A and B are shown apart, each in its own frame.
Chain A
Amino acid sequence: QVQLVESGGGLVKPGGSLRLSCAASGFTFGDYFMTWIRQAPGKGLEWISYISSSGSSVFYAKSVKGRFTISRDNSKNLLFLQMNSLRADDTAVYFCARDSGWNDYWGQGTLVTVSS
């Protein structure tokens, strides 16, 4: 069965960095685009980035462009999100999701809190 498990969240000070990981299993990881989506506390869903199956093409929402970097290691079935210059408004649960043209499988999410 398809499983996505995020890790790497935690408490970080404004201006700091964090690297999230998403471990995929149960499907041929290298065949799919992958996406990061976040949800601030009590708020709606915000799509923030995706990466093509090979990793050659990426896209970012304006809110994170220039600060976040998405990448993947198809040999290890891992998706990453490097987050730099973190701000208080980046506080959210971060989900990884498989992209089939729609997000059909999601991880459970990892909480990132940006606070001094």
Chain B
Amino acid sequence: DIQMTQSPSSLSASVGDRVTITCRASQSISTYLNWYQQKPGKAPDLLIYGASSLQSGVPSRFSGSGSGTDFTLTISSLQPEDFATYYCQQSYSTPRTFGQGTKVEVK
């Protein structure tokens, strides 16, 4: 199985900050990488698919990049509604494993 490792596991940030979360795959997954946002008690929402494609309706302050084994989710200017947990997921092979999550908290 492909292992997905996110860093950091948590971070503290302020509104307006630029936030970067990284995800590393244990083997090359091309650009088969997705990002999700989850708020407490809710189902995850898809943010980015195919490493860099923005899901419809997702604000443009979210962006994704990377290929192979190293990927990045960037929030260009953190908004109050962005405090949440973020997960990466590889869809290169089954099982479609998730990273352990990155919790973005208020500084």
Binding site for B on A (CB under 8 A): 35, 44-48, 50, 59, 61-62, 95, 100-104, 106-109
Contact = CB atoms under 8 A, between A and B. Distances in A.
Interface residues of B, number: 24
A66 to B, nearest CB: 15
Contacts of B63: none
B65 interface: no
B43 A95 contact: yes
B66 to A, nearest CB: 15
Contacts, number: 55
Interface of B: 1, 32, 34, 36, 38, 42-46, 49-50, 55, 87, 89, 91, 94-101
B89 A102 contact: yes
A45 to B, nearest CB: 4
Interface of B is mostly: loop
Contacts of B100: 44
B49 A102 contact: yes
Given A62-B95, A104-B49, 6 more contacts: A44-B99, A46-B98, A47-B96, A50-B94, A101-B50, A102-B50
Nearest to A109: B43
B94 A59 contact: yes
Nearest to B44: A106
B89 A59 contact: no
B95 A44 contact: no
B43 A47 contact: no
Given A47-B96, A59-B94, A61-B95, A102 B101 contact: no
B62 to A, nearest CB: 15
